[in-house]
Amino acid sequence: MTTHKIFTLSEFLHESGAKYRIFDMGRRVTKLTPDEFVGFEWAKKPYPYPFKQSALFGVIFWDPKKADQHYVWFLNFPLDEQGLLKQAARDAFLKMLLERVGECMLAAENGQQIQSALKDSPYTFSPREEKMAAFNAVATKSLGLPPSSHYNDALAYFTGDKPLNQWQTLAMQGVADVAMRLDEHEETLSLIETIPKLSDKVFTVLSSYLENAPLPTGIAEELVQRVEKELLEKSPDMARICACLRAASNSPAVGLVDHMVIHILKHDCSNHIEVLATIVGRIWRVLADETICQLFVERLATNDAGQAAFSQLLADAMFMPGLREHIMQALRSHTRSKELSHAVGEMFGGALSG
């Protein structure tokens, strides 16, 4: 029994004796460090991956004495204008949690009670099927657990051991597992040879899972080449370009990825709102680069969806921790175009000086 008041979920889990991991579920599925999560819970740090002014994350926890039995909660907390947790929401959530399961959650040894403790809570959500597959793949990899039973079948497909026209038999979970475990088998290097042969539908699905993984350099190089080839076409395929951006977005080969983004932004295809939204939604870190940020805001000013899209995407980008100053600097540039000046004036009511 605790002798002090519990203020946060991490304190609650710690006092319960549980081990736990936190994973962002908004932008991409990625692990949050303990410092990131605790700082967020105490409203000392902005949430690192805000999505629509909310923090969406998955909590996986377990009793150390029963390491094979994991519980998962998916939580959605509102953020204030600075990206900090609204503490009233935190307090209301914790009050309800303590009322339903008490302080000694794991001591109850009632799995059903633990799993259903947050039923009907306004702070829970159910991930889409594809997001759930990504979460399972990232979480099992992070915890050192084996992949799903669909993994071997998907691995055989993407490494060329199965006919490429048999993609209908692939399970979404298997594709997600392959994407997360590219560093575990040398044969996954043959995926580099397989990528150009994949149908657009399969490549799009694969790319949506590769965005959660630290992509090997060889595959990032293949994606760059694919984009370069597409940009030479008279009418580049927007879906393919966006798929390549998503797939490469989490690659540690940042130089290669930056090169790809610059080439896309210098091409007229980047006036398409889907391309610009993919950059903000999945590969936002590039906007901290002065050259890329300037190219981006200029393209955004002439995007094919108009002023509303300019204002919405720009607001989303500026809400990301660490990006606001970079973007404001680009918007104030003395070399900005008339189109950008007009779009900025419309968004800020002409209050932003150049």
- List the chain pLDDT tens, one digit each, 354 residues: 444 688 899 998 888 888 999 999 999 999 999 999 999 999 999 999 999 999 999 999 988 888 888 889 999 999 999 999 999 999 999 998 888 876 556 555 556 667 677 888 999 999 999 999 999 999 999 999 999 999 999 999 999 899 999 999 999 999 999 999 987 767 667 888 899 999 999 999 999 999 999 998 999 999 999 999 999 999 999 999 999 999 999 999 999 999 999 999 999 999 999 999 999 999 999 999 999 999 999 999 999 999 999 999 999 999 999 999 999 999 999 999 999 999 999 998 755 554
Residue whose pair of structure tokens reads 């900005």 in the numeric block: 336
Distances (CA, A) of 22 to 54, 111, 135, 344: 15, 20, 11, 37
- What are the domain boundaries of the chain? 9-115, 129-348
Cross-strand bridge partners of residue 51: 54
Residue 264: CB partners within 8 Å, gap ≥ 6? 227, 231, 241, 245, 270, 275
* Residue 350 φ/ψ region, left for φ over 0, alpha for ψ in the -120 to 50 degree band, beta for the rest: left
3-state SS class at 157:
helix
Give the model's pLDDT for residue 101: 76
Nearest Cα residue to 192 out of 230, 240, 160:
160
Name the helix (H) or strand (E) containing 283.
none
Question: CB–CB of 79/47 below 8 Å?
Answer: yes
Could you count the other beta carbons within 10 Å of the beta carbon of residue 179? 28
Give the model's pLDDT for residue 106: 59
